[in-house]
């Protein structure tokens, strides 16, 4: 039997990674948030550290030890063990975020099952993430962050997060807003009962300089008032010439607990980003197909210095409230008000007029350019309130959830755009920048979205083994477009999951879920709501007494009205599409001192959808050890592989294998870490689109971080 070249490459790289990661080293380092607990099975050379938390008192929103979280609320809106959740969920813990040296959400999800984290390569405007072949909606603390794409978003910094949770598959029954991909729920750092303080300094490639701080603990002796302050300041260049990555972040939170049954956490965030667009929309020729002048450098800048920018400002204020009336009944309310402003100006290559023949001269050097200027302001209010009840009817234990959520979104702005006939062309191999002034900006039609949903969910346990999760939701959504009548939509969404939990830790399940996504009008155009459904069958395994878990899932997704990008400024909706696949994942601690994160995905999607690799796999392992009698060292190695693929009429995007590494030393007060991503500095293309353009992935980056804890 012949072996596909990708399969042979994949097997060799994964074998090498596992062999290297499983070297007979041995000791344990402390994590950054919270510092890791010493375990009974840990080597005797471990330094003594204070126990901040344990797996037994883990909560769905708090710190988790190691790479494996045991609980999550993203799939049920209630604190539920993952082994009792009949749907695929991956939790990226704080320790894993730090060990990967994640500079953005894409980096943090590089080793998450079912995720293509660099779907459009290195993109400084937004986190281009695909889950099961579709675009997930990004939530923060269970509330949606925004509606539209890069013209109205500010990227969330991983340093402000406690964990990142990927719920794969439709989730409209709980959230109303969400595609067939599911959601990525970012869980922010929250005030802790025990004082923890750290200050860190980070330097790296592309002149990266960052200082960060995270303080938390009680404000009063009785513990009624807790606080947390996360702050960050960064000055940095990027892989692309003339593009900065500067950020100021200030995220305070305050918790009031007047008694054991009541908690109110106030959250605020102020963030200022000064950047540009690292996505340059290079033509096929010179990216993946031959060009007589060679390959376009992945650092090439097509815009104009002094004109191009992607500057965003975000301010948010909200709260998380919980009150327990009794052992059976609890009410919760989450609210956030957000204001986001983006000043986006760019010139980018015209790769679309004649796909495959985009150059304007016989020497294939000169490309035309589009010029775009957009000032966008988004105001968004989100609210979720529900009542949770724990009841028993005969042999059946119920965990009921009755709730209502509401959303108010409004977007205003001004824009101007010029095509290749007006904007000046450029030589992509020897660019000369002559400056550019945008024409006057004109008002864009105001758009908006209002939505209210009511939902009912019941998590039922029959005896000690059978688990059933059933839910029903009804939504009313209103789309607003200035100068036109409101567009009203209604939808009822269902969910059903059945699981059997064996005593030995095996939990097979089958589930059905639906999605409903009202699409806000863009550029004066309305869209039909997206609808989808998924059937998933899986198996979860958590061996008793062990600190790792394994999951397997097969799924089939069907969707209507998928929104696809035809040009950088034009979107269209498709009819019915279908996607199927297989996902395998292993997470957790293998033995006393080795942390593992590994997955394999197979995806088979409809030809009308974006082209994606059929095969994707990644293995990351971290080994703790002592060196010359000094404990606290750790080394990490990761390998990520993608098979070649073709997006409809686009040329083939070649397969690629990338390597990441970590070298760190921890003591009770200090942590030093060197992170290397794309260790071999592979110049690769993440995708080429049939409209004519290609996107480069991130080259090698090196980051050195020193953190002092006190």
pLDDT in tens, 140-150: 999 998 876 66
Rounded mean pLDDT, 109-130: 90
pLDDT of residue 658: 97
Smallest CA-to-CA distance from 707 within 680, 678, 669, 656 is with 669
Rounded mean pLDDT, 83-96: 96
Rounded mean pLDDT, 237-246: 96
pLDDT of residue 524: 58
- pLDDT of residue 223 exceeding 70, the answer is yes
Domain boundaries, the chain: 5-709
442-462/487-500 β-pairing: unpaired
Q: In 62-90, which positions are buried (b, 16+ CB within 10 angstroms) versus exposed (e)?
A: bbbbbbbbbbbbbbbbbebbbbbbbbbbb
The reported pTM is: 0.89
The alpha-helical segments, DSSP class H, found in 73-121 are: 94-99, 105-108
442-462/594-605 β-pairing: unpaired
Task: Give CA 80 to chain center in angstroms.
Answer: 21
pLDDT of residue 38: 37
pLDDT > 90: percent of the chain:
76
Beta strands in 440-569 (DSSP E): 442-462, 466-481, 487-500, 506-517, 530-541, 547-560, 563-567
- pLDDT of residue 35 exceeding 60, the answer is no
pLDDT of residue 184: 94
Distances in Å between the Cα of 653 and the Cα atoms of 309, 466, 599, 647 are: 29, 45, 22, 8
239 pLDDT tier (thresholds 50, 70, 90): very high
Q: What is the pLDDT of residues 272-297, one digit of tens each?
A: 999 999 999 999 999 999 999 999 99
Smallest CA-to-CA distance from 12 within 587, 659, 624, 585 is with 659
The yes or no reply on domain 5-709 and CATH 2.40.170.20 is yes
pLDDT of residue 611: 79
Q: Mean pLDDT in the chain?
A: 89
Task: Give CA 215 to chain center in angstroms.
Answer: 24
- pLDDT of residue 560 exceeding 90, the answer is no
Rounded mean pLDDT, 435-445: 92
- pLDDT of residue 11 exceeding 50, the answer is no
Rounded mean pLDDT, 195-210: 97
- pLDDT of residue 329 exceeding 80, the answer is yes
- pLDDT of residue 437 exceeding 70, the answer is yes
Q: What is the pLDDT of residues 305-319, one digit of tens each?
A: 999 999 999 999 999
151 pLDDT tier (thresholds 50, 70, 90): low
pLDDT > 70: percent of the chain:
87
d(Cα 642, Cα 325) in Å, to the nearest integer?
51
Smallest CA-to-CA distance from 673 within 655, 661, 658 is with 661
- pLDDT of residue 48 exceeding 70, the answer is no
Q: What is the pLDDT of residues 520-557, one digit of tens each?
A: 666 556 677 778 899 999 999 999 999 999 999 999 99
pLDDT of residue 489: 86
30 pLDDT tier (thresholds 50, 70, 90): very low
Smallest CA-to-CA distance from 495 within 531, 526, 466, 535 is with 535
d(Cα 360, Cα 99) in Å, to the nearest integer?
46
pLDDT of residue 414: 95
d(Cα 12, Cα 19) in Å, to the nearest integer?
10
- pLDDT of residue 188 exceeding 80, the answer is yes
pLDDT of residue 57: 81
124 pLDDT tier (thresholds 50, 70, 90): confident
- pLDDT of residue 36 exceeding 60, the answer is no
- pLDDT of residue 17 exceeding 50, the answer is no
Contact residues for 339 (Cβ-Cβ < 8 A; gap 6+): 314, 315, 316, 377, 378, 379, 380
- pLDDT of residue 620 exceeding 80, the answer is yes
576 pLDDT tier (thresholds 50, 70, 90): confident
Q: In 182-208, which positions are buried (b, 16+ CB within 10 angstroms) versus exposed (e)?
A: bbbbbbbbbbbeeebebebebebbbeb
127 pLDDT tier (thresholds 50, 70, 90): confident
What residues form DSSP beta bridges with 455? 403, 473
pLDDT of residue 481: 87
pLDDT of residue 564: 65
pLDDT of residue 205: 97
- Phi, psi dihedral angles at 115 (to 5 degrees): -115, 135
**Listed range (232-246, 326-340, 566-580) with the worst mean pLDDT:** 566-580
Task: Please state whether the peptide bond connecting residue 156 to the residue before it is cis, i.e. omega within 30 degrees of 0.
Answer: no
Instruction: Give the H or E element holding residue 5.
Output: helix 5-21
Secondary structure percentages of the chain, helix, strand, coil, to 5: 5, 55, 40
pLDDT of residue 122: 87
């Amino acid at each position: 039997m012949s072996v596909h070249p990708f399969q042979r490459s994949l097997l060799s790289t994964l074998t090498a990674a596992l062999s290297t990661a499983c070297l007979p080293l041995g000791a344990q380092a402390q994590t950054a948030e919270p510092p890791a607990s010493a375990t009974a099975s840990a080597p005797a050379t471990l330094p003594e550290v204070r126990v901040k938390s344990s797996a037994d008192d883990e909560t769905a929103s708090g710190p988790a030890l190691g790479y494996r979280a045991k609980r999550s609320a993203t799939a049920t809106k209630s604190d539920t063990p993952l082994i009792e959740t009949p749907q695929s969920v991956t939790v990226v813990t704080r320790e894993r975020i730090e060990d990967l040296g994640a500079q953005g959400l894409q980096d943090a999800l590089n080793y998450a099952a079912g995720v293509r984290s660099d779907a459009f390569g290195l993109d400084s405007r937004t986190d281009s993430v695909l889950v099961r072949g579709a675009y997930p909606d990004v939530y923060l603390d269970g509330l949606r962050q925004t509606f539209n794409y890069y013209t109205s978003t500010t990227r969330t910094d991983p340093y402000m997060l406690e964990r990142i949770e990927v719920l794969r598959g439709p989730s409209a029954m709980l959230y109303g807003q969400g595609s067939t991909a599911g959601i990525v729920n970012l869980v922010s750092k929250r005030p802790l009962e025990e004082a923890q303080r750290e200050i860190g300094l980070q330097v790296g490639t592309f002149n990266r300089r960052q200082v960060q701080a995270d303080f938390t603990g009680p404000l009063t002796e009785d513990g009624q008032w807790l606080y947390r302050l996360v702050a960050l300041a960064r000055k940095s260049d990027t892989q692309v010439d003339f593009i900065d990555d500067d950020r100021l972040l200030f995220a305070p939170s305050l918790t009031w607990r007047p008694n054991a049954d009541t908690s109110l956490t106030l959250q605020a965030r102020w963030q200022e980003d000064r950047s540009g667009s690292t996505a340059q929309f290079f033509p096929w020729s010179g990216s993946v197909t031959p060009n007589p002048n060679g390959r376009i450098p992945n650092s090439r800048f097509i815009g104009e210095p002094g004109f191009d920018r992607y500057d965003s400002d975000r301010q948010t204020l909200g709260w998380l409230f919980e009150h327990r009336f009794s052992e059976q009944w609890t009410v919760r309310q989450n609210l956030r008000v957000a204001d986001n402003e983006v000043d986006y100006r760019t010139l980018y290559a015209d790769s679309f007029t004649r796909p495959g023949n985009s150059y304007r001269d016989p020497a294939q050097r000169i490309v035309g350019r589009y010029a775009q200027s957009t000032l966008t302001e988004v105001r968004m209010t989100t609210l979720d309130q529900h009542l949770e009840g724990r009841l028993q009817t005969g042999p059946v234990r119920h965990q009921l959830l009755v709730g209502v959520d509401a959303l108010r979104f409004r977007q205003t702005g001004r824009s101007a755009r010029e095509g290749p006939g007006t904007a000046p062309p450029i030589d992509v191999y020897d660019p000369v920048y002559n400056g550019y002034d945008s024409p006057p900006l004109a008002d864009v039609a105001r758009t908006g979205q209002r939505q209210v949903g009511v939902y009912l969910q019941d998590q039922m346990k029959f005896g000690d083994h059978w688990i059933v999760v059933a839910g029903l939701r009804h939504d009313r959504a209103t789309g607003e477009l200035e100068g036109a009548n409101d567009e009203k939509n209604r939808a009822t969404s269902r969910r059903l999951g059945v699981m059997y939990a064996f005593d030995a830790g095996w939990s097979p399940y089958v589930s059905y879920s639906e999605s409903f996504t009202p699409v806000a009008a863009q550029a004066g155009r309305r869209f039909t709501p997206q609808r989808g459904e998924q059937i998933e069958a899986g198996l979860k395994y958590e061996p008793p007494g062990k600190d790792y878990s394994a999951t397997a899932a097969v799924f089939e997704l069907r969707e209507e009205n998928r929104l696809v990008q035809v040009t950088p400024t034009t979107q269209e909706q498709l009819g019915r599409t279908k996607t199927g696949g297989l996902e395998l994942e292993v997470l957790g601690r293998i033995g006393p001192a080795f942390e593992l994160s590994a997955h394999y995905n197979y995806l088979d999607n409809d030809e009308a959808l974006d082209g994606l690799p059929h095969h994707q796999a990644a293995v990351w392992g971290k080994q703790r050890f002592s060196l010359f009698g000094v404990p606290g060292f750790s080394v990490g190695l990761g390998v990520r592989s993608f098979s070649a693929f073709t997006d409809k009429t686009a040329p083939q995007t070649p397969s690629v294998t990338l390597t990441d590494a970590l070298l760190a030393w921890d003591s009770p007060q200090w942590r030093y870490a060197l992170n290397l991503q794309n260790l071999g500095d592979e110049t690769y293309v993440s995708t080429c689109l049939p409209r004519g353009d290609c996107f480069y992935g991130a080259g090698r980056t090196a980051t050195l971080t020193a953190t002092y804890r006190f």
